[in-house]
Amino acid sequence: MLLVSLLVSQFIISQNKTKKPNIVIIYVDDLGYGDIGVNGAIGVKTPFVDELAKNGLNFTDAHSAAATCTPSRYSLLTGSYAFRNNAAILEGDAPLIIDTTKETLPKMLQKAGYTTGIVGKWHLGLGAGKIDWNKKIPLGPEEVGFDYSFLIPATGDRVPTVFLENQEVVNLDKNDPITVSYGTRIDGYPWGSKHPELLKQHTDPYHQGAVINGISRIGYMKGGKDALWVDEKIPFVLSEKATDFIEKEKENPFFLYFSLHDIHQPRIANIKFVESSTMGPRGDVIAQMDWCVGEITKALKKQNLLDNTLIIFTSDNGPILDDGYLDYAIELLGDHKPGGKFKGAKYSVFEAGTRMPTILHWPAKVKPGKSDALLSQVDLYATLACLLDVKVAKNAAPDSENYLDAWLGKSKKGREFLLEEAYTYGLRFGKWKYIQPKGKPIPDWIAKKFVDPGFSAEIQLFDLEKDPSEENNIAKNNPKIVKKMENKLKEILK
Ligand code: NG6
Ligand code: CA
């Protein structure tokens, strides 16, 4: 009897060891390299994220594919550079930009036996033309490879401000249909431009459309009153949906893409987090984001799944202080450095635009530590396919390369060259950083954000080992490196 139970328990242990790991990507919005405790945050504490770093691998040179949201997310899910599809920040009523005939990261994982779910920000477009928000939307996460979806359709600062569950508006009263408009003003919710007295936060002129929950947005909207989200409750709603998914799928290997609204604007923290930092709303929503991370790790622990779940914690693009809402992020910053020692921000080709806080946590297989391997999120597709021994479909993921050993900390060797997409291109080659010249004037709406996008009529080259903050352009002294990188960039872009 003893022998039998011993054998059974051995069998269970060995089964657990070979069991496919669950995969959770925690994708924070606009979080900078320096915005987490382990990377030097000042003025806000991130204990749950720091705990992941303590028991996982903290990467110091891992990148989102681009310096803005839609392009980065496109690359993450398709393994393809955004420029191939002209992917740029989308309005809230834009059609789906992912080709549904091709394999994607979630479809590859479905092939490997995973149940797939997305909870949170989508921002990759929906439907094929004009969206009817009052019916099930025909093209979206389901067609891209997600078995379950609970979405913020675009951004917190764009209409419609409603959640979609499996591509249907949650809590929609059919007698109060939703109309959305970008460009043409429509009657419905009052406009911020006309009614500043309704606002919790003032904004620049670009964010003065529909006022909903005291916040003016980009775009205009009518109807759907019962379906409107309450900004202050978003972190709770999303965390609950994500933990419900974990609980429901606990028996199967699952993939959860937990795509937080924080710390994107409007940064409207729940009262639970107000003044939890010394940096005002931007710091408070970092604390709020950290709490959401804790909800996920607690849910995994509760199901006894934390050990064999591969969590990747990262962000879609660099930090931004003023993105249009007046929440005093600049004034209250103190000594905190959102991009760490790196120059740049969201929208910028300098390092902070794409160098992301990145932690991989998988206690069953990965030893804690730090890695300076040069890595890109575009490679997660091929890397996870290799981990699971799945073949990437022939016409899919043209830019995704397998760096499994580097992602698991067995090697420090990542990419030889790495593309950084912004409003111009950056290319990394070891310690070298090349920036493609762009003589055009800085677009007005970026210039107003106190962000340097990195435009210059001249070629820029930096030695990041000596000059991590990209201050000294040494292109003229290094013609051979410049030529090599120019050629490589041409080859990538052709
Ligand atoms: C910009 C918006 C900004 C923000 C950003 C998307 C203007 C002037 N600014 O176009 O408010 O929504 O798009 O951010 O419209 S991202 O993180 O999703 O890329
Ligand atoms: Ca973003």
**Residue ranges in 233-280 assigned as alpha helix (H):** 234-248
Report the separation in Å between the CA atom of 68 and the middle of ligand 2, taken as the mean of its atom positions.
6
Residue whose CA lies nearest to ligand 1 atom number 13: 89
Co-location of 249 and 139 in the same domain:
yes
Q: Do 345 and 402 have their domain in common?
A: yes
Same domain flag for 471 and 401: no
What six digits make up the tokens of 208? 């003065």
Let me know if residue 204 belongs to a domain.
Answer: no
CA of residue 207 to ligand 1 center, whole Å: 10
Write down the residue that tokens 């797939």 correspond to: 116
**Residue 210, in any domain of the structure:** no
Q: Give the CATH number of the domain where residue 480 resides.
A: 3.30.1120.10
CA-nearest residue for atom 5, ligand 1, is: 89
Total structural domains in the chain?
Answer: 2
pLDDT greater than 60 at residue 213? yes
Q: Are 269 and 288 in contact (CB under 8 A)?
A: yes
Q: Cα of 286 to ligand 1 centre, how many Å?
A: 18
Pocket test for ligand 1, best of 217, 218, 314, 423 (most atoms within 8 A of CB): 218
Task: Please give the distance, rounded to the nearest whole angstrom, from the Cα atom of residue 65 to the centre of ligand 2.
Answer: 12
Name the closest ligand to CA 71.
1
- Domain check: are 345 and 436 in the same one? no
Q: Residue 53 half-sphere exposure, CB side, CA atoms within 13 Å?
A: 19
pLDDT per position as a tens digit, 94-135: 999 999 999 999 999 999 999 999 999 999 999 999 999 999
Residue 17 has pLDDT above 90, yes or no: no
Closest of 305, 304, 260 to residue 22, by C-alpha: 305
Mean pLDDT of 207-235: 98
| Reported confidence tier of residue 13, pLDDT bands at 50, 70, 90 | very low
Say whether both 118 and 264 belong to one domain: yes
Q: How confident is the model at residue 442 (pLDDT cuts 50, 70, 90)?
A: confident
Report how far residue 383's alpha carbon sits from residue 410's, in angstroms, rounded to the nearest whole number.
13
User: In degrees rounded to 5, what are phi and psi of residue 20?
Assistant: -60, 140
CA 152/CA 309 separation, integer angstroms: 25
Nearest atom in ligand 1 to 320's CA:
17
Segment 53-76 shows an average pLDDT of 98
Which atom of ligand 1 is least distant from the CA of 68? Answer: 19
The mean pLDDT value for 178-195 works out to 96
Nearest 5°: phi and psi at 255?
-120, 120
Task: Identify whether residues 408 and 432 lie together within a single domain.
Answer: no
Percent of the chain exceeding pLDDT 90 equals 93
Q: Are residues 357 and 456 in the same domain?
A: no
State whether 232 and 349 are in the same domain. yes
As a whole number of angstroms, the distance between CA 273 and CA 287 comes to 7
Q: What are the two backbone dihedrals, phi and then psi, of residue 479, each rounded to the nearest 5 degrees? A: -60, -35
Neighbours of 477 (CB within 10 A): 11
Per-residue pLDDT at 2 exceeds 80: no
Residue at a domain's end among 361, 378, 412: 412
CA of 300 from ligand 2 middle (Å) equals: 26
| Within-domain flag for 162 | yes
Nearest ligand (C-alpha, residue 318): 2
Average pLDDT, integer, range 198-213? 97
- Would you state the torsion angle of the CA atoms of residues 451, 453, 457, 459, taken in this order, to the nearest 10 degrees? 120
Q: Are residues 399 and 432 in the same domain?
A: no
Q: Is residue 187 part of a domain?
A: no
Range of the domain at 477: 423-493
| Cβ atoms within 10 Å, residue 480 | 7
Distance 13 CA to ligand 2 centre (A): 41
Report the pLDDT value the prediction gives residue 15, as an integer from 0 to 100.
Answer: 47
Nearest-CA residue for ligand 1 atom 17 is 69
Lining ligand 1 with CB less than 6 A are 29-30, 68-69, 89, 123, 155, 157, 206, 218, 264, 317, 323-324, 445
Q: Is the domain of 129 the same as that of 240?
A: yes
Atom 18, ligand 1: residue with shortest CA distance: 69
How many angstroms separate the alpha carbon of residue 29 from the centre of ligand 2?
4
For position 285, what pLDDT does the model report? 98
Residue 238 corresponds to which tokens in the numbers above? Answer: 């999303």
Distance (Å) from CA 358 to ligand 2 centroid: 15
Query: 149 or 2: whose pLDDT is higher?
Result: 149
Binned at pLDDT 50, 70 and 90, residue 448 comes out as confident
Give the distance (Å) from ligand 2 centre to CA of residue 12.
42
6 occurs within a structural domain = no
**Residues with CB in 5 Å of ion ligand 2:** 29-30, 69, 316-317
Q: Is 101 within 8 Å of 148 (Cβ atoms)? A: no
Nearest CA to ligand 1 atom 7: 206
For the residues 185-208, what does the mean pLDDT come to?
Answer: 96
- The predicted pLDDT at position 14 comes to 45
Q: 151: part of which helix (H) or strand (E)?
A: strand 148-152
247 with 276: CB under 8 angstroms? Answer: no
25 DSSP assignment? E
| 408 and 441 inside one domain | no
Q: Which residue has its alpha carbon closest to ligand 1 atom 16?
A: 69
Contact predicate 145/102, CB 8 Å: no
| Structure tokens belonging to residue 316 | 């879609």
In a domain, 62, yes or no: yes
Q: Taking 90 as the threshold, does the pLDDT of residue 412 lie above it?
A: yes
188 in a structural domain: no
Q: What pLDDT, on a 0 to 100 scale, did the predictor assign at position 335?
A: 98
Q: Quote the pLDDT of residue 18.
A: 65
Residue from 155, 215, 289 whose mutation best tests the ligand 1 pocket (most atoms within 8 A of CB): 155
Tokens, residue 257: 């893409």
Query: Ligand 2 mean position to 354 CA, how many Å?
Result: 11
Q: What is the mean pLDDT of the chain?
A: 95
Residue to mutate, 74, 123, 157, ligand 1, most ligand atoms under 8 Å from C-beta = 157
* 102, 151: one domain: yes
Give distance in angstroms: CA of 317 to centre of ligand 2: 5
Task: For Cα atoms 270, 276, 278, give the angle at the middle one, nearest 5 degrees.
Answer: 125
ipTM above threshold 0.90: yes
Q: Stretch 232-245: mean pLDDT, rounded?
A: 98
pLDDT at position 439: 83
Over 90: is that where the pLDDT of 212 sits? yes
- 377, 412, 447 — which closes off a domain? 412
The CATH code of the domain that includes 92 is 3.40.720.10
The answer to whether residues 182 and 91 touch, using CB atoms and an 8 Å cutoff, is yes
Q: What is the mean pLDDT of residues 3-23?
A: 61
Give yes or no for a contact between 26 and 296, defined as CB atoms under 8 angstroms apart.
yes
- H helices of 364-450, where? 380-387, 404-407, 444-447
Measuring from atom 8 of ligand 1, which residue has the nearest CA?
Answer: 206
Nearest CA to ligand 1 atom 14: 69
CA of 290 to the centre of ligand 1 (A): 23
Q: Which of 352, 377, 412 is the last residue of a domain?
A: 412
- Taking the C-alpha atoms of residue 368 and residue 376, their distance in angstroms, rounded to an integer, is 20
Q: How confident is the model at residue 12, as a pLDDT?
A: 45
Q: Does residue 186 fall inside a structural domain?
A: no
Which secondary structure element, helix H or strand E, spans residue 479, and what is its range?
Answer: helix 479-493
Neighbours of 486 (CB within 10 A): 15
Higher pLDDT, 104 or 5: 104
Task: Tell which one of 158, 207, 323 to mutate to probe ligand 1, the residue whose CB is within 8 A of the most ligand atoms.
Answer: 323
